[in-house]
Amino acid sequence: MIDIQDLSGTWNLRGTDVDLPAEVPGCVHTDLLAAGRIPDPFFGDNEHAVAWVGRQDWTYQRDLTWDGPAHDRIDLVFDGLDTVARVELGGRVLGETRNMHRSYRFDVTSQLGTAAADRDPADATAGASLPLSVYLTSAYTEAARVEALVGPKPNCYPEPFPFVRKMACSFGWDWGPTLVTAGIWRPVRLEGWSTARLATVRPLATYRDGGGDLDLTVDVERTRDRALRAQVLLDGRELTVVDVPADQTSLRARIPVDGIAAWSPRGYGPPALYELTVVLLDGDQELDRWRRHTGFRTVTIDRGADDAGTRFVIEVNGEPVLAKGVNWIPDDIFPSRMTRARYEKRLREAVAAGVNLVRVWGGGIYEDRAFYELCDELGLLVWQDFLFACACYPEDEPIFSEVVAEARENVTRLSPHPSLITWNGNNENLWLHDAMNWAAEPGGGESWGEKYYLQTLPAIVAELDPTRPYQAGSPWSGSWEHAPNSPDHQTFHSWEVWNREDYGNYRDSAPRFVSEFGWQAPPAWTTLRDAVSDDPMLPDSPGVLHHQKAEDGNGKLARGLEPHFPAPASTEAWHYLTQLNQVRAIRTGVEHWRSHWPHTAGTILWQLNDLWPVTSWAAIDGAGRYKPLYFALRDVHADRALTIQPRDGRLVVAVLNDHPEPWTGSLSVESRDSSGTLLHIGAEEVEVAPRSVTLVPINGGDVLVATLDGRRALWFAADHHLGDPDLTVTASSVPGGLDVHVNAAGLARDILLQADRIHPDAVTDQGFVTLLPGESTTLHVRAPIDLDPRSVKDPWVLTDLASVLRENRPS
């Protein structure tokens, strides 16, 4: 068996005028923070004060001894080095690395000893202790070196991320700080082994009625030429034993598997998983064991032509799936801080918001194994970008061979995960090269990345993972015959809305698949207040603006409010109204596009999460607090929902049934005046087939209310001149928090309870709530301490749209 010696824990970190303990896995920034050597980079403009960290070279050091039994081979294994490293043991260079997204293995047998019995003991120094040093060169230095070799390349941000294979967004983005990391960011260990080990195991599992097929490839690394066997088990049941001749280092087995259930995405059946084990045997002696959970499913994307253009419909096990997706960015600018528990919390939050697909965006990382295992367990589909975003990328050396090695390793590493259903070549590079005329800029006319997306990467996927469809980019129309971001062909990014247009313009088209769209809002009040020292804190005060990274972001927020509301009279009103505008924008887009299913086959919101406190498009802010948008996602992603939509010059109720059973019942439509008084009510029997949409024409009015089986949709002709809702608010103490009871005598639009204004760790279970005259609701506030019921009466804890608009009126 392989013996493992974990090297996680305390190392030593050295830099200019720095010598202190370091934690591995980790990074320089977190070590300096722990030692009190730098201020919190998330607070104020401290991001600038710590910029020097990313421009220095650093060294991690510790003494290394092999404490295990004698083996043929001792390897030093790094699961991740960030990024440009020279590894030395006892003054001897083991190797150099230039890629954050790869793992590395170095043979240290001759230095650490433990020679096998049939080797000359003089070749080793068993039990030797030697200094291990990892010298890390600044990513800026490496990027400058590479740029000097290959020439300049256009990109969207004034940072050199295309010239080094590193998490691009550590160089800053329009929602992220520039904090360029270095470190040993994933686990490191010594491995002792003899005769042979399992170098890679690549299982490709597909489903067919009543069973599945396992296409298994195993690569073996050897120290001895011996005939071996590989035993394959599924949930402990032996499927097969494959001979591995003495001269063979790779085997492939195609194994039919009967009597299993399909892995299915959320809403389409259970995500059935099975424990797959591969045991490498020398006679009866176990040399190595590989174990993962996997699932059997078949994935295709229907990209056929029709009268409207080119489809993009994800199909799992032969069934079309309406994608209710979110874009995922790294959940921490320092990804070494991520834990399985934190991944689980965030992904379960996605599930609770009705999400069934998570897109891992191309400016981040290939996430930790725990991320994909949790998606497997939760039935979340994973769309995985290769790591290219918003830039031209050189196709020359030394980058090209790094890209190939990185892609091959990660396609193999992620192959067991049934949740992973598509590989995507890049984020926006094909589109922006065309739209921004990068070909006319220095370095943009040749060797700009097209070869990766249209040749290199699809060839790697076809060789190593033909069970998953590949797409060249997001957005991508399928070929250069159409504009890359054509709404009529395959995937589409909707950014004219937000950047230049009002959210009502979402209704102007029905793209085939919307893989990015979004609308900004500030984070929760406490998150923003904790991040800045501005006094007073204003929408345009220095700290608030520093935590707004989008170009003219606050200007776009203001212009987005103009068609709908008067200018906010206070920072609190600005915070409330911009949060409300974000919710309304996303509702408008998703409900409109869902009403066009299957013509529009899905949406992927930009974005689920943030990696620091910032005004952004996220639904969950950088402190992990929910914006009101998070709660709205539950509604727009519900399996059964109603929405009132303008269609062909009139209004319709779109009855949205993303459920395996028909939806039948009496659809009620109420017409009310602007005060909410009932004027007319009508009803119509509807029967909506499974996984389909039915449109029911209705007449217009000031206020329309459609209901079916407890689901409700509202339509308002105007926002202004709302009357006093005459709210009665009472709060009662309950175990773990408060129950807040709200009754409305009049029409109460967009009631919002901001629990973090009661206590920083308090949460509520609803976002914006609208009550018709005479209606009530209960908001549940939960916190780790007892809460004072009177706190609900504090300013801005609970408010509503009419109250905010009254604040803007002249006295």
- The pLDDT assigned to 809 comes to 59
Side-chain-side CA neighbours of 424 within 13 Å: the count stands at: 30
- The pLDDT assigned to 721 comes to 66
Largest CA distance in the chain: 98
Sequence-separated (6 or more) residues with CB below 8 Å from residue 332: 338, 611
- The pLDDT assigned to 266 comes to 97
Fold equal for 195-294 and 727-807: yes
Q: How many CB atoms lie within 10 A of CB 153?
A: 21
- The pLDDT assigned to 807 comes to 78
pLDDT < 50 positions in the chain: 114-126, 810-811
Residue 466 DSSP code = T
- The pLDDT assigned to 718 comes to 81
Per-residue pLDDT of 454-498, as tens digits, reads 999 999 999 999 999 999 999 999 999 999 999 999 999 999 999
- The pLDDT assigned to 118 comes to 39
- The pLDDT assigned to 722 comes to 83
Mapping DSSP onto H, E and C, the string for 709-733 reads CCEEEEEECCCCCCCCCCEEEEEEE
Residue 262 DSSP code = P
d(CA 31, CA 49): 16
- The pLDDT assigned to 113 comes to 75
Q: SS3 breakdown of the chain: % helix, strand, coil, rounded to 5? A: 25, 35, 40
Q: Can you say whether residue 351 is alpha, beta or left, with left for phi > 0 and alpha for psi between -120 and 50 degrees?
A: alpha
CA distances, 396 to each of 163, 368, 443, 679 (Å): 10, 29, 12, 70
Q: Which CATH superfamily is domain 3-191 in?
A: Galactose-binding domain-like (2.60.120.260)
Query: Which residues in 749-785 are b (16+ Cβ under 10 Å) and which e?
Result: bbbbbbbbbbbbebebebbbbbbbbeeeeebbbbbee
Q: Tokens 């910032």 label which residue?
A: 614
- The pLDDT assigned to 128 comes to 77
Q: Does domain 195-294 have CATH number 2.60.40.10?
A: yes
Sequence-separated (6 or more) residues with CB below 8 Å from residue 329: 169, 175, 176, 361, 363, 364, 607, 609, 610, 611
Q: How many angstroms from the chain centroid is the CA of residue 488?
A: 26
- What topology does CATH give the domain 727-807? Immunoglobulin-like (2.60.40)
Residues 114 and 192: beta-carbon distance below 8 Å: yes
Residues 174 and 550: beta-carbon distance below 8 Å: yes
For the annotated catalytic residues, the residue numbers are 428
d(CA 266, CA 269): 7
pTM score over 0.85: yes
Domain positions in the chain are: 3-191, 195-294, 641-716, 727-807
- The pLDDT assigned to 123 comes to 45
d(CA 634, CA 620): 13
Three-class SS state of 513: strand
Residue range 641-716 forms a domain whose CATH class is mainly beta
Instruction: Select from 370, 3, 6 the least CA-distant residue to 188.
Output: 6
